[in-house]
Structure 1
């Protein structure tokens, strides 16, 4: 294949795209963009760190055999949570595992485990709560692996259905250091972005805070790729005017959302 033919097949050639995922999760998405000819500005708008209360996590892990269900609400929850668990003990054989989507299930598979419950569409807490197996939860004990300060919908709904809920908050989210944000502002001041990708509400909130005015005003006019209706609504409320929703929370779907709208770039 000639260089000209290669360029013609790169559907994001010349596009400068901001990837805001945490550093440990950004590389796969960045490589897909680059394979399509796009240029990536990597800026982890959220840093993932150790939990605030490690002893509380240890105590829950020690009692894992007392739970009927373990629910993992994100890829980070799987990676951080199972690293904690498997460094200390085995996963109880009769513990049922539920995840919110395919990416979380794939993260689970990397540990040699497979979920008993995973939505086939929706890929969020709402989709998981709609599944038949979680409708009648009286007397069931559920541990939810998550980051600190996550949504309360899952726990609240399961509790209303009769479940006893505990959290294993196995990581915490934080802002990147000021020097990193300064580098981002400097880059944006010299060249406008073509597309911004955010994959959670926390990421978008942090990005807006870190960019600040007057660059934020320009950012709001830049096409923004998000996952799901909740993030799309948040982006609208924050003043973004071009919001593209990926069909599912996967790297491929995020890139495809850009390609499908490339005529608007």
Structure 2
């Protein structure tokens, strides 16, 4: 049976997930719920390059998303003919880590998919006085930095992009293809979708919505979503397995 799935990732991940969904035999309905814009003014790029040239000063570099990894790899390739060898590269989530590996960095990750699981995984690691760089977008969650600083690390941010809420009209929603369930991969994406549906009086809150973590599941329920399923990961494979399980039960 064909299933239409609303894909809410930002681009370019949205197009990649849509292609994956088609390979699974389902029909994707793209509706990005977040826009990613690289910081690209001359002043911003100069400041970023200055930080990237200092990568060898950090014992640990964390990448919080695929967008952070993708943009950072471009700067690293430009600034470092060979990446620093005494730095531990860590991606949050399987997709981010695989992207880093594909880009030539020997990245590792914890078995889980959330910041909280990553911090739990790092409990045995002595990070006191370690210099840590967190690669992210502007204004991200402070949970990772707070947790690392509690371990005695000195944390610096490298911010490469800004997130914004996309603008859709009632007509955009009217002509959207029908869908039976939703893939939502971040709390901000769920919040933006909720606001959009409420703004245009679109009743989709009874549709199953797959979210990446228990934190986002709780938030979604508080926002009024009636059937929230935790996929235990924001990567396509985790969402695929959760979708297969859901469809097998319906």
**What's the TM-score once normalised by structure 1's chain length?**
0.84
Is contact 1:198-1:204 (8 Å) kept? Answer: yes
1:136/1:36 Cα in 2 relative to 1: closer, same or farther (>3 Å)? closer
Aligned mate of 2:227, from 242, 248, 262: 242
Equivalent residue runs for 1:60-71 within 5 Å: 60-71=51-62
Aligned mate of 2:142, from 144, 152, 166: 152
Equivalent residue runs for 1:130-209 within 5 Å: 130-132=120-122, 135-176=125-166, 178=167, 180-188=168-176, 192-209=178-195
Aligned mate of 2:95, from 85, 92, 103: 103
1:229 counterpart residue number: 214
2:105 counterpart residue number: 113
Is contact 1:155-1:165 (8 Å) kept? Answer: yes
Aligned mate of 1:215, from 176, 188, 201: 201
The Cα of 1:240 is off from its aligned counterpart by 0.3
The Cα of 1:99 is off from its aligned counterpart by 1.6
| Comparing 252-261 and 51-60, the one that deviates more | 51-60
Structure 2: unaligned runs, 5 residues or longer = none
| Comparing 230-239 and 35-44, the one that deviates more | 35-44
State yes or no: 1:51 paired with 2:43.
no
CA distance in 1, matches of 2:74, 2:190: 27
CA RMSD of aligned residues (A): 2.1
Is contact 1:220-1:240 (8 Å) kept? Answer: yes
Poorly superposed stretches of 4+, deviation over 6 Å: none
Structure 1: unaligned runs, 5 residues or longer = 1-12
1:5 counterpart residue number: none
The Cα of 1:225 is off from its aligned counterpart by 0.9
CA distance in 2, matches of 1:138, 1:16: 49
Is contact 1:144-1:167 (8 Å) kept? Answer: yes
Aligned mate of 1:21, from 9, 29, 49: 9
Is contact 2:8-2:14 (8 Å) kept? Answer: yes
State yes or no: 1:256 paired with 2:241.
yes
CA distance in 2, matches of 1:125, 1:247: 12
Structure showing greater Rg: 1
The answer to which structure has the higher helix fraction is 1
State the Cα deviation string for residues 48-107 of structure 1 (Å, max 9, x = none): 111274343222112212111111111111101121222222421211111222211110
